[in-house]
A and B are shown apart, each in its own frame.
Chain A
Amino acid sequence: MNSARVESRDFAPAPAPAPVSVRAPGGTDMDRRLSLAWTALAAVEDPEIPALSIVDLGLIRFVKLQPSGALDVGLSPTYVGCPATAVIRRSVEDALRNAGVGAFAVTEVLSPAWSSDWITAEGRSKLETHGIVPPRQSLSSLREVLRSDRPIGCPRCHSIDTECISEFGSTPCKALHRCRACLEPFEYFKCI
């Protein structure tokens, strides 16, 4: 299950997920299966942040057809110890089975390591709607991670007079902050 592998070059790191009905009329059976798979995957929620689908989070790295005829679905974990990883994998398998995509296998993709930069624009706006500040776009340097105290804007009142009250929040991927202006606590999705 933990077969780490390097992603093949013919697939972009963050594929744009196909929205619900992209299937061109007259598409082949393979197109139909790929489209069914993407649609099913886009409906799989993150167990910790149900507003977001795993496609919004950029966890699906590829869906490709194997010579055997089975679909190969590349799934990346967010954090190595995230307990949601096993749940997500099960949900992915259930969703693909229920969608009737035919034979498939789910491959864990470790490299390149998942980055918060791969959260889609839609994912970022969904996070914001749910009171979670999306990660800053652009990979932070090590120095920045170690010592950054750039203020994180409050998602409710947009004040930048905020403070970090816990480096780790309800999940490893988030930190807990508090707004000094409106006094509300909020979560920040860390840049990784």
Chain B
Amino acid sequence: MSDLFRYVLRLGDLSLVLGQRLGEWVGHSPALEEDLGLANIALDLIGQARLLLTYAGEVEGRGRGEDEIAFLREHGEYLNAILAEQPNGDFGRTIVRQVLIDAFQLELYQRMTASTDERLAAIAAKSVKEIQYHLRYSSGWLVRLGDGTEESHARVQASLEALWPYTVELFAEDELDREMADRGVAPRLPEVQASWASRIDAILAEATLARPAHRPHSWHGKRGQHSEHLGYILAEMQHLQRTYPGARW
């Protein structure tokens, strides 16, 4: 497995899994406007995943297309950070997860527009425009809920405490991240983390929420070790392709 292939899967799987999670809200959101909002963000994320997984297939060079990569890989071959697969919980928890990942994607892709990999630079430039609107939506809601009623404040603060430990994995730099940064393919994660943290701090301050304490992580979704939640997501997402191999619209 080439390094670039694995790196592109990390990016694409994060978008795919989060997009699939958000899709679960369709028809169940607190209001029609939020149904539209979450569904549209999910669509953008699936769009990112399609571009990235198509590219991954080309890099791999074994003739696999986006569908084969999305629908026929096993649990351990998914390389997303496990924050993306955490359950939706209530609307507030979904919003907290979204703010944390939107801000990460924004800082990552802004820098990746200067990637030495032309294809990734193009995908980043396209995606970052949309991610700005995702963060506008999610941070707007986090401020309303955090600086809202006692109940809404307590619930999003609790969600923040629950999800915060998973953010460490987004920035935990391993050999692959370092190699991609050395080749100019990807930005350096500590740099991304610094801007992410100051952006998140500003949003939390406006939302009157407290930033949870740092705890060391032991998550390795980026290496294919996932929480139990991913299996359920894949069971639903891959059911059709596994039952009717090669089925097309």
- A positions within 8 Å CB-CB of B: 1-2, 4-6, 77, 79-83, 110-115, 142, 145-147, 165-172, 176, 190, 192
Contacts and interface: CB of A to CB of B under 8 A. Distances in A.
A79 B87 CA distance: 27
Interface in B132-183: 132-133, 135-137, 139-140
B120 to A, nearest CB: 9
B47 interface: yes
A190 B133 contact: yes
B132 A113 contact: no
Contacts of B47: 77, 79-82
Nearest to B38: A168
A119 B133 CA distance: 19
Contacts of A81: 42-48, 50
Interface of chain A: mostly helix, strand, loop or mixed:
loop
B219 interface: no
Q: Size band of the B side of the interface?
A: 35 or more
B51 A80 contact: yes
A171 B130 CA distance: 13
Interface-centre pick from A4, A80, A165, A190 (highest chain B CB count, 10 A): A80
A166 B51 contact: no
Given A79-B130, A169-B36, A113 B48 contact: no
A111 B45 contact: no
Contact of B140 (A2, A167, A192): A167
B33 interface: yes
A146 B199 CA distance: 11
Interface of B: 32-33, 36-37, 39-48, 50-51, 54-55, 66, 118-119, 121-123, 125-127, 129-130, 132-133, 135-137, 139-140
A115 B130 CA distance: 11
A1 B42 CA distance: 22
Contacts of A111: 118, 121-122, 125-126
A146 B122 contact: no
A110 B113 CA distance: 12
Contacts of B44: 79-81, 172
Given A2-B55, A146-B135, A146-B139, 18 more contacts: A2-B50, A4-B51, A77-B47, A80-B51, A81-B42, A81-B46, A81-B47, A110-B51, A110-B125, A113-B122, A113-B126, A114-B126, A145-B133, A165-B33, A168-B39, A172-B44, A192-B129, A192-B133
B218 to A, nearest CB: 33
A176 B123 contact: no
B39 to A, nearest CB: 8
Contact of A172 (B40, B55, B118, B132): B40
Interface-centre pick from B37, B39, B129, B140 (highest chain A CB count, 10 A): B129
A147 B202 CA distance: 13
Given A6-B122, A166-B33, A192-B130, A80 B40 contact: no
Of all A-B residue pairs in the complex, the 5 with the closest CB atoms, nearest first, are A81-B47, A80-B47, A111-B122, A81-B43, A166-B33
A4 B119 contact: yes
B51 A145 contact: no
Contacts of A142: 132
Nearest to B41: A168
